[in-house]
């Protein structure tokens, strides 16, 4: 096997063949590659001048008639090359201005039209002077230097630069990287080197001096026409030496990428590749070398662009798999030399990721793993091809795949296990014994999770190359854990609950691993026996614990201590946990779950069903106290609803002159009139704290349901589960009921606190105070919207609708209270009903939020009461007084019209409820309402204090 080194991302070169032409820049390479392409196509006019290749070289493909650079681009439904390689189809048509494949290639290779015209002109001259001469019998730079003069260029400087570039191409192809190695005393090589050095110093001399040109042609053709047997051939080798040929070919292949989107392959790739194939006779390429070079080009582009376009990697691996098929018959050392460097780079890059593939691949990029494995395996097979033929003809290719993949599995899983394993100092093992026991139990669960994750995510991919990939994985984990368990068993002196827990966890892990191995090996030759034989059994022993009830009591005491400590230390702020619930809840649920898990680990199987309900009831009762204390002091709806002020009457046309000269004074008076229902709500119940408490109740309820399911599952194998009603007794009834009630109470209290306390300054102290038109609902809506944003960003999605609904109900109540019990600072004329209706619609729209908020039917349901009351503000005062008088007489069976009884406040606003109509009249700003209220109830005018 070829040696290779690990290549870091930053160390990956722009090209595996970047040293091919160190003196040539990227633009110079592109121009050279373009000249070769045009020369190979031999198109210098409307009709292509095609020449059939008669080369008998076993490295060059037999070509079909060359495609024309003037061939029109065809619009295909999809690219056959893209379909074959697994490249995605794009909708970009950036190059549609290019009508022909030649124009497309010119644009893609960033060659100017001037340069293109000059190359075609030179080739036309070559064709005219050497009709019938094949392209492989020419040294293209030499021919171009012969045909193009200074006057063909825009400036003398441009011509000199062009000459230097062609000299450097000759140097790279004939001296630095010749197809056949040069003898040290080769006179022609020394002469060419001198000419090139002289030409680089004074490039104009070569173009003007025919004698110099003749000398250059002589040494160039002498070097280019050499053969391995010493004879002179008519085929010139000036660009087919490795790695120059690969570098030029890669430059051509890079034209397949969209110039405007570096990770995208153009739709016209089929036509582009057909053109590029014509250069193979010059560059000494064939289909197999093309596949490797194109594979490298796609791979290099995938890495260089941040490894984001997985279809590039897929296409690269598919091409390499094709090259692998051809590599079987490759005996020529040239191919080994040509391929090994690029393949080693690709193999090193792939193995760096595969030897620790758990760190590399995850749910977000798992689809790329198959391509990376394919890349590694194909590279390894091609690299091993020549060695396997020489050293071990009987060696199966499948052995390479299995050996490689097995190495990846064992290496990566060993690394995972080391990370899961906390480092220990053997000298302190006895003192840290209890911690070690707990750690091993946790480790067993984690290893089991790794095994099932491996089976689900990685094994289906790796099974393509290894028949028992999951079996190898679990065998590796089994050996790793078995080593740790063996050390632990040696240190055990007595069986404690921790000891039992550890041993039972190890026993469960072993069963999981064996199950996976057997399941994975169903279709293997030996049914997985060889894998299972490698899994030396664990020695898990169990001891019955006599003091089980004492153990339960200790667990409950531990839980209660944790509950008390957390209640004292909890800050109830969203920032304490990314999921915005109290961290203590997770800790408490973890303690309960761990306690129940530890209970089942105890070797008391006959007593499990008998003692479990008692254990769960004790845990349930302790947790209920935590929930009750967590919501204690939050208040309720009545806590925050203000006490209604005494009824007064409003003078007609009153602007409260002499009472409120400034808005500020109005707000001061308002504060004096209104009274909040209570002041005993704890300061720790702000909006964020409410949200965290609600989330905590929700999280506890969800966690308890999960724990119940796990508990029933753990008890499932016990014979005692047949007892009637057993499953119903295994419930956290007290805690779940407390959490549901806690969410309801906290949600309602938070809603009414937000509306009636937090937003008091824009509702009670602001809405419709003094002048209705200038104190509308927008300020309230703006601040309410901010509160809703806090709630939406904090509260769990399962209860968000319930909570927002409570806020909506509270805001509707607040809106009605402003209208009906807003106190002496508010008075409404009949015309104000338009503003009131508009403001209520804005309030509704806030909760509907263009269909992104609450459902319309839910808003409609809770807004019904408000919508029934609002029409009262549109009715004439005379109509209101008539309806009111009629309702009073019906309610009190009174026929006396001179004095009507004062209706009581029911707390339920309704257009058929007398107190509601009375309050509308009290806030009606006209003479009729004032006289009616004066006559019937002798109500005072609004206070002028």
Q: Which of 205, 242, 192, 171 is nearest to 24 (CA)?
A: 171
Same domain, 737 and 797: no
Answer yes or no: is 427 within a domain: no
For residues 715 and 836, state if they share a domain.
Answer: no
* 846 in the same domain as 770: yes
User: Measured between alpha carbons, how far is residue 570 from residues 112, 566, 697 in Å?
Assistant: 71, 5, 14
**What is d(CA 84, CA 88) in angstroms, rounded to the nearest whole number?**
10
Contact 567, 629 (CB under 8 A): yes
DSSP letter, residue 755: I
Phi and psi of 899, rounded to 5°?
Answer: -145, 115
Q: Is residue 689 part of a domain?
A: yes
Q: Rounded CA gap, 766 and 826, in Å?
A: 10
pLDDT computed for residue 332 by the predictor: 61
- Do 318 and 198 share a structural domain? no
Judge if 555 and 629 occupy the same domain: yes
φ/ψ of 264, rounded to 5, equals -110, 135
C-beta neighbour count of 745 within 10 angstroms: 18
The pLDDT assigned to 586 comes to 84
The answer to whether the Cα torsion of 444, 449, 451, 452 is positive or negative is positive
Residue 480 tokens read as 């790793």
Backbone φ and ψ for 395, nearest 5 degrees, come out as -70, 130
H-helix segments, 677-761: 687-715, 726-729, 733-753
The confidence score (pLDDT) of residue 58 equals 40
Measured in degrees and rounded to the nearest 5, phi and psi for residue 663 equal: -60, -35
Provide the 3-class DSSP secondary structure of residue 649. strand
Same domain for 690 and 830: no
Q: Cα(77)–Cα(80) distance, rounded to whole angstroms?
A: 9
Residues 6+ apart with CB under 8 A from 806: 747, 748, 750, 751
908-914: long-range contacts, CB 8 A cutoff, minimum separation 24:
909/816, 909/820, 909/865, 909/869, 910/865, 910/868, 910/869, 911/868, 911/869, 911/871, 911/872, 912/887, 913/887, 914/884, 914/887, 914/888
What DSSP letter does each residue of 312-355 carry, written as one string?
HHHHHHHHHHHHHHHHTT---HHHHHHHHHHHHHHHHHHHHHHT
- Same domain, yes or no, for 122 and 176? yes
Q: What's the confidence (pLDDT) of residue 440?
A: 84
Which of residues 387, 418, 437 is at a domain's end? 387
Q: Identify whether 783 is part of a domain.
A: yes
| Spatial distance between the Cα atoms of 809 and 792, rounded to a whole number of angstroms | 17
For residues 738 and 751, what is the distance between their CA atoms, to the nearest angstrom? 20
In angstroms, the CA 675 to CA 673 distance is 7
Query: Quick count: other Cβ atoms within 10 Å of Cβ 440?
Result: 24
pLDDT given for residue 595 in this prediction: 86
Question: How many whole angstroms separate alpha carbon 571 and alpha carbon 580?
Answer: 12
Residues 726 and 845 in one domain: no
- At 667 the pLDDT is 40
Tell me whether residue 379 is in a domain.
yes
Q: What is the CATH number of the domain that holds 828?
A: 1.20.58
Asked whether residue 473 is domain-assigned, the answer is no
Last residue of a domain, one of 387, 407, 441: 387
Task: Show which of 247, 274, 306 is a domain's final residue.
Answer: 247
Mean pLDDT, consecutive 10-residue stretches, the chain (945 aa), reads 44 64 88 93 47 37 51 69 86 60 90 92 83 83 89 90 92 91 86 87 63 88 86 85 90 91 89 92 89 90 88 89 70 64 87 92 88 88 61 55 91 92 49 57 90 92 90 92 84 65 81 88 69 76 45 81 82 78 84 85 66 85 87 85 85 50 38 40 76 90 89 70 66 90 92 92 89 91 92 89 93 92 87 93 90 89 92 92 88 68 82 91 90 87 59
Domain extent for 716: 541-634+685-741
Distance CA 163, CA 534 (A): 69
What is the secondary structure of 518-541 as a DSSP string?
A: HHHTTTSTTTTHHHHHTSPPP---
Cα–Cα distance between 490 and 458 in angstroms, integer?
Answer: 35
Question: In angstroms, rounded to a whole number, what is the distance separating the alpha carbons of residues 318 and 553?
Answer: 64
The token pair that represents 768 in the structure block: 């419709």
Please tell me whether residues 700 and 594 are part of one structural domain: yes
- Residue 307 located in a structural domain: yes
Q: Measured on CA atoms in the order 469, 470, 473, 478, is the torsion positive or negative?
A: negative
Name residue 649's beta-bridge partners. Answer: 941
Residue/partner pairs of 301-309 with CB below 8 Å, 24 or more apart: 301/254, 301/257, 301/262, 301/263, 302/263, 303/9, 303/12, 303/349, 304/12, 304/14, 305/262, 305/263, 307/368, 308/263, 309/263, 309/264
Q: CA 552 to CA 453: how far, in whole Å?
A: 34
- Numbers of helices and strands, H then E, in the chain: 38, 0
User: Are both 210 and 297 inside the same structural domain?
Assistant: no
The residues near 269 (Cβ < 8 Å, ≥ 6 apart) are 79, 81, 82, 87, 256
Full DSSP string of 285-312: --HHHHHHHHHHHHHHHHHHTTS--HHH
Provide φ and ψ at 417, rounded to 5°: -65, -40
- Token duo for residue 698: 């929700």
For residue 77, with 0-12 CB atoms within 10 Å meaning exposed, 13-18 middle and 19 or more buried, which class applies?
Answer: exposed
Cα–Cα distances in angstroms (integers) from residue 416 to residues 52, 264, 485, 745, 836, in the given order = 59, 36, 17, 47, 66
425 assigned to some structural domain: no
Are residue 141 and residue 225 in the same domain, yes or no?
Answer: yes
pLDDT of 448 reads: 93
Residues 43 and 170 in one domain: yes
The answer to whether residue 516 is domain-embedded is no
Q: What CA–CA distance (Å, rounded) separates 144 from 50?
A: 19
Q: Residue 627: which CATH number?
A: 1.10.357.50
CB-based burial label for 906 (10 Å; 0-12, 13-18, 19+): exposed
The pLDDT of residue 96 = 54
Q: How many domains does the chain have?
A: 4
């Amino acid at each position: 096997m070829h040696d290779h080194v690990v290549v870091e991302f930053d160390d990956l070169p722009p090209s595996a063949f970047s040293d091919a032409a160190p003196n040539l820049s990227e633009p110079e390479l592109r121009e050279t590659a373009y000249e070769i392409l045009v020369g190979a196509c031999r198109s210098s006019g409307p009709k292509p001048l095609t020449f059939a290749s008669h080369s008998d070289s076993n490295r060059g493909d037999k070509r079909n008639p060359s495609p024309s650079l003037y061939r029109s681009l065809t619009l295909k439904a999809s690219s056959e090359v893209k379909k074959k390689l697994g490249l995605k189809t794009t909708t970009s048509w950036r190059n549609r201005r290019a009508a022909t494949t030649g124009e497309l290639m010119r644009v893609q290779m960033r060659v100017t039209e001037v340069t293109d015209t000059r190359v075609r002109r030179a080739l036309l001259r070559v064709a005219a002077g050497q009709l019938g001469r094949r392209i492989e019998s020419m040294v293209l730079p030499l021919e171009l230097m012969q045909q193009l003069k200074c006057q063909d260029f825009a400036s003398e400087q441009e011509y000199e630069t062009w000459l230097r570039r062609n000299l450097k191409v000759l140097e790279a192809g004939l001296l630095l990287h010749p197809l056949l190695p040069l003898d040290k005393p080769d006179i022609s090589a020394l002469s060419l080197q001198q000419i090139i050095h002289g030409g680089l110093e004074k490039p104009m001399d070569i173009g003007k001096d025919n004698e110099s040109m003749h000398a250059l042609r002589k040494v160039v053709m002498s070097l280019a026409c050499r053969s391995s047997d010493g004879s002179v051939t008519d085929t010139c080798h000036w660009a087919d030496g490795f790695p120059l040929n690969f570098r030029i070919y890669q430059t051509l292949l890079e034209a397949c990428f969209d110039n405007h989107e570096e990770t995208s392959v153009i739709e016209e790739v089929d036509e582009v590749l057909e053109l590029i194939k014509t250069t193979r006779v010059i560059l000494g390429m064939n289909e197999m070398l093309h596949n490797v070079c194109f594979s490298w080009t796609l791979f290099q582009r995938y890495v260089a662009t941040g490894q984001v376009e997985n279809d590039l990697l897929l296409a690269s691996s598919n091409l390499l798999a094709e090259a692998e098929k051809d590599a079987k018959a490759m005996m020529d050392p040239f191919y080994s030399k040509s391929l090994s460097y690029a393949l080693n780079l690709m193999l090193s890059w792939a193995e760096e990721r595969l030897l620790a593939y758990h760190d590399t691949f995850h749910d977000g990029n798992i689809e790329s793993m198959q391509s990376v494995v394919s890349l590694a395996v194909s590279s390894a097979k091609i690299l091993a091809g020549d060695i396997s033929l020489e050293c071990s003809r009987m060696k199966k290719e499948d052995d390479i795949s299995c050996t490689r993949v097995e190495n990846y599995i064992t290496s990566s899983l060993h690394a995972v296990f080391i990370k899961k394993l906390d480092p220990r100092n053997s000298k302190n093992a006895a003192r840290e014994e209890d911690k070690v026991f707990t750690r091993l139990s946790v480790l067993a669960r984690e290893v089991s999770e790794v095994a099932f994750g491996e089976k689900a995510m990685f094994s289906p991919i790796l099974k393509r190359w290894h028949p028992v990939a999951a079996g190898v994985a679990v065998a590796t984990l089994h050996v790793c854990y078995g080593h740790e368990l063996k050390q632990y068993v040696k240190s055990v002196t007595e069986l404690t609950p921790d000891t039992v827990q550890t041993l039972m966890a190890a026993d469960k892990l072993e069963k999981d691993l064996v199950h996976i191995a057997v399941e994975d090996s169903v279709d293997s030759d030996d049914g997985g026996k060889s894998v299972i034989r490698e899994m030396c059994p664990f020695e898990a022993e169990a001891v019955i614990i006599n003091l089980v009830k004492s153990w339960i009591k200790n667990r409950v005491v531990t839980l209660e201590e944790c509950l008390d400590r957390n209640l004292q230390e909890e800050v109830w702020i969203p920032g304490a946990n990314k999921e915005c619930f109290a961290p203590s809840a997770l800790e408490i649920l973890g303690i309960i779950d761990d306690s129940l898990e530890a209970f089942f680990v105890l070797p008391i199987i006959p007593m499990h069903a008998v003692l479990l309900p008692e254990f769960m009831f004790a845990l349930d009762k302790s947790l209920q106290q935590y929930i009750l204390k967590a919501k204690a002091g939050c208040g309720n709806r009545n806590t925050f609803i203000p006490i209604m002020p005494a009824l007064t009457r409003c003078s007609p046309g009153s602007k409260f002159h002499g009472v409120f000269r400034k808005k500020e004074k109005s707000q001061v008076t308002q504060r004096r009139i209104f009274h909040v229902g209570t002041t005993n709500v704890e300061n720790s119940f702000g909006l964020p704290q409410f949200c965290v408490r609600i989330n905590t109740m929700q999280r506890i309820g969800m966690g308890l349901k999960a724990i119940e399911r796990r508990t029933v599952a753990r008890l499932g194998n016990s014979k005692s589960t047949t007892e009637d009603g057993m499953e119903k007794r295994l419930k956290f009834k007290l805690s779940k009921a407390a959490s549901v009630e806690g969410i309801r109470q906290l949600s309602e209290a938070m809603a009414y606190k937000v509306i009636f306390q937090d937003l008091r300054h824009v509702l009670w102290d602001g809405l419709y105070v003094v002048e209705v038109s200038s104190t509308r609902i927008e300020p309230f809506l703006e601040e309410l919207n901010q509160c809703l944003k806090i709630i939406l960003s904090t509260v769990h999605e399962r209860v968000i609708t319930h909570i927002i609904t409570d806020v909506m109900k509270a805001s509707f109540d607040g809106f009605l209270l402003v209208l009906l019990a807003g106190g002496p600072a508010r008075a409404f004329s009949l015309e104000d009903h338009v503003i009131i209706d508009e403001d209520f619609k804005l309030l509704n729209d806030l909760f509907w939020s263009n269909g992104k908020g609450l459902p319309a039917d839910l808003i409609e349901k809770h807004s019904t009461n408000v919508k029934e009351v609002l029409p009262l503000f549109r009715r004439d005062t005379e109509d209101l007084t008539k309806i009111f008088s009629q309702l009073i007489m019906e309610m009190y069976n009174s026929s006396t019209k001179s004095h009507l009884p004062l209706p009581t406040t029911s707390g339920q606003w309704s257009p058929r409820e007398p107190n509601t109509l009375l309050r509308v009249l009290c806030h009606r700003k006209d003479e009729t309402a004032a006289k009616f209220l004066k006559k019937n109830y002798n109500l005072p005018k609004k206070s002028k204090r």
